Amino acid sequence: MNPPAISVHSLVKRYEDLTAVDGIQFSVPQGICLGLLGPNGAGKTTTIEILEGLLDRDAGTVEILGKNWSSHGDWLRERIGVQLQDTRFPEKLTVTEILRLFRSLYKKGRDPEEVLGVVGLEEKRDTRTIKLSGGQQQRLALGCALINQPDILFLDEPTTGLDPQARRRVWDVVEQFKAGGGTVLLTTHYMDEAERLSDQLVIMDHGKIIAEGTPEEIIGSLNAENIIAFALEDGGAPSLELETIPGVLTVRSGDVIELVVSKTNQALPTLLDRIRKQELEVADLRLHRPTLEDVFVSLTGRNLRES
Amino acid sequence: MSQIKELTRSRFLLFIREPEAMFWVFLFPVVLALVLSFAFQNRGVNEANVGYVEGQLSTEWVQALEADSLIHLIAFEDTVLAARKLRSGAVAVMVSGENPNLHLNYDPTRPESEIAQMRITNRLQAQEGRQDVVLTETTETTEHGSRYIDFLLPGLLGMNLMGTSIWGTGFPIVEMRQKKLLKRFLVTPMKKTSFLLAQILSRFGFLVAEVIVITAFGVFLLGVPFRGSIITFSILSFLGAISLAGIGLLVASRAKTIEGVSGIMNFVMMPMWLFSGVFFSYENFPEAFHPVFRLLPLTALNDGLRRLMLEGDGIQTMGLEISVLTVWAILSFVAALKIFRWK
């Protein structure tokens, strides 16, 4: 039987006055994409860099393809592909030159020409990297990560700072790799990226895992049917006694008030009824299905984008 | 495809795509040699400025001194101005008097004043009837190899090799560290020695061009002698470049910023600019220090190149120089590999 692509037990990493990773464990079967989702500072990058063999751990065990870094470092490096956060390539080398360089570092791998096609940079083959857009540079980084035909692809925030179209092109490359049977470990603080690419999710906060499972399972753990978000003309809603509305699970106050509801057909009419009786004016009212963002907020009281 | 080959190739491409680097490597030393050889050219004995105050030097003597082709006689209207010109060095000697009393005013520590004063004395003594008792016969020799430019060019070549080796190796490494490219290489199976070796090897392509341009310029345009063997010359330049590139590697092995590494580079190169005999011989410093200076890699390179070019010395006389360069090359490479910061 194949060993899991990645398995992590009781992993701990401490910096001087901070425990960046605090006893996490998870396992990634071969051929799936695991997303590590969390806000900045959650410990995602520290975790992925330990798995890539870049950082030493303070406690716990890490196995990649059933091997560990201390005894099989070079064997593993031949079999992983890595895209780090903000690596910048030499400005005056061309796309093909960079791919050739990276290809030369591995015993086995693909022809740079073929990889140009995979990441959609054929037309930019002789362009110097300084002339590439952010999305093209990111696809070049992906090309370098794929040049050795890796078994596992590590991506650290692959689309941060890119526009929507450029993000989709990066996602296409990753999905193509998955379709070929590859394993992916991805960190991100975008829930749409996590939902789109990941088969399994691990949500981290302050170095700990606060939720895990498939995106559906994690969202299902809220037991929520819908989220009602509304705002009133004159701000707050002190007299509405929202907690007592039937079908409301939790209330989050703010400029926009959010109600996590299990029974929309009871909660919504009651809410509107109370607003009408108090003669308040509705400025905004929305209803949406719960998302990973809502799970994160209800677990931590903060948004993913806040650090 | 071999790692070293591709790493070397990309490093080399990056260099030739950097126009500023081309300037510093090729044009700068040539311009420097031109300017310095012009400023320090051997003009023989210069015409000396000799001053007198009107009315204080007899007419016969004024005529006698004006007839001397190496004396430029200047008349002053008053003593104050004349004294000031003498103090400032614009005038080498102030002369006054009439036969039989000659009075000379000059600073004996200034060579040109001393020469001018002897010339004036001889001239006026002869004019007033002194007879020479010894017949002097002179043979004049001007042979290439003794001019300042002859001394300078090998030193300039050494200094340029040092600059391009240390800058050319050090700066790109720090830049790659800043761009996290070194960190990216760390997650590939790249051998660390391959990477560091490639940084040194990539220097050789332009090393050859650099040495040829500067040497050919000196030998063919400025007439600097080249008396030794080309093979020994190549070995010396090659070893010099390796050991200095090794030092560049070491200098850049920890630094995180360009500013930081610039400081270390200046700190490392400054003593060699001064004590390795680039612009002037280190023989000017007390002899007790010479053994220490000879252990500097640039001193070894400059001494070797200079003896080879000017005196035609062979490799069998350069044991010290070759050993010093080899030891520096090995030590700096091993030390750099050990302390190198990849992240």
Shortest Cα distance from B1 to chain A (angstroms)? 5
Q: Is residue A242 part of a domain?
A: yes
User: Are both A136 and A260 inside the same structural domain?
Assistant: no
For B101, counting Cβ atoms within 10 Å of its Cβ (0-12 exposed, 13-18 middle, 19+ buried), the class is exposed
- Domain residue spans of chain B: 2-40+144-339, 48-127
User: Are both A252 and A199 inside the same structural domain?
Assistant: no
User: Are both A143 and A239 inside the same structural domain?
Assistant: no
Touching check for A64 and chain B: CB below 8 Å? no
User: Are both A140 and A264 inside the same structural domain?
Assistant: no
User: Are both A199 and A230 inside the same structural domain?
Assistant: no
User: Are both A129 and A257 inside the same structural domain?
Assistant: no
The average pLDDT across A175-190 equals 93
User: Are both A100 and A26 inside the same structural domain?
Assistant: yes
CATH classification at residue A250: 3.30.70.100
- What share of chain B has pLDDT > 90, as a percent? 49
The average pLDDT across A182-190 equals 93
State the virtual CA torsion across B172, B173, B178, B179 in degrees, nearest 10. Answer: 70
Whether the pLDDT of residue B15 is over 90: the answer is: no
> Which residue, chain included where needed, has tokens 């302390």?
B339
C-alpha torsion sign, points A168, A173, A177, A180: positive
User: Are both A87 and A114 inside the same structural domain?
Assistant: yes
Q: What is the pLDDT of residue A86?
A: 82
Q: What is the pTM of this model?
A: 0.80
From chain A, pick out residues whose CB is under 8 angstroms from the CB of B1: 100, 103-104
Instruction: Please say which residue of A170, A193, A219 terminates a domain.
Output: A219
- Mean pLDDT over the full length of chain B: 89
Residues A262 and A134: their CA atoms lie apart, in Å, by 42
What are φ and ψ of residue A262, in 5° steps?
A: -95, -25
Residues of B with CB under 8 A from a CB of A: 1-3, 5-7, 9-10, 13-14, 17-18, 176, 179-181, 183-190, 343
User: Are both A13 and A108 inside the same structural domain?
Assistant: yes
Whether the pLDDT of residue A209 is over 90: the answer is: yes
C-alpha torsion sign, points A139, A145, A147, A149: negative
Q: Scanning every residue of chain A, which has its alpha carbon at the shortest distance from the alpha carbon of B15?
A: A92
Full residue range of the structural domain in which residue A276 is found = 223-289
From chain A, pick out residues whose CB is under 8 angstroms from the CB of B9: 101
Highest mean pLDDT among A24-38, B25-39, B100-114: A24-38
User: Are both A54 and A170 inside the same structural domain?
Assistant: yes
The confidence band for A307, taking pLDDT boundaries of 50, 70 and 90, is: very low
For residue range A64-110, list pLDDT tens digits in order: 999 999 999 999 999 999 999 888 999 999 999 999 999 999 999 99
Instruction: Please say which residue of A165, A193, A219 terminates a domain.
Output: A219
Residues B184 and A39: their CA atoms lie apart, in Å, by 24
For A290, counting Cβ atoms within 10 Å of its Cβ (0-12 exposed, 13-18 middle, 19+ buried), the class is buried
For residue range B147-175, list pLDDT tens digits in order: 888 888 999 999 999 988 898 889 989 99
DSSP summary character for residue B23: I
What are φ and ψ of residue A168, in 5° steps?
A: -65, -35
Do residue B14 and residue A90 have CB atoms under 8 angstroms apart?
A: yes
User: Are both A153 and A174 inside the same structural domain?
Assistant: yes
State the virtual CA torsion across A239, A240, A243, A248 in degrees, nearest 10. Answer: -170
For residue range B188-216, list pLDDT tens digits in order: 999 999 999 999 888 887 788 889 988 99
Q: Is residue A307 part of a domain?
A: no
C-alpha torsion sign, points B9, B10, B16, B22: negative
Structure tokens given for B252: 């850049």
For residue range A221-230, list pLDDT tens digits in order: 888 889 999 8
Q: Is residue A59 part of a domain?
A: yes
User: Are both A152 and A281 inside the same structural domain?
Assistant: no
Q: Scanning every residue of chain B, which has its alpha carbon at the shortest distance from the alpha carbon of A69?
A: B187
Instruction: Please say which residue of A185, A219, A253 terminates a domain.
Output: A219
Touching check for A82 and chain B: CB below 8 Å? yes
From chain A, pick out residues whose CB is under 8 angstroms from the CB of B184: 82, 84, 87, 144
- What share of chain A has pLDDT > 70, as a percent? 97
CB B247 within 8 A of CB B297: yes
Interface confidence, given as ipTM, is 0.88
Whether the pLDDT of residue B88 is over 90: the answer is: no
Q: What is the pLDDT of residue B213?
A: 87
CATH classification at residue A83: 3.40.50.300
- Mean pLDDT over the full length of chain A: 90
> Which residue, chain included where needed, has tokens 């004294």?
B83
Q: Is residue A212 part of a domain?
A: yes
CATH ID of B48-127, from 3.10.150.10, 2.60.40.10, 3.40.190.10, 3.40.50.740: 3.40.190.10
The confidence band for A235, taking pLDDT boundaries of 50, 70 and 90, is: low
Q: How many domains does chain A have?
A: 2
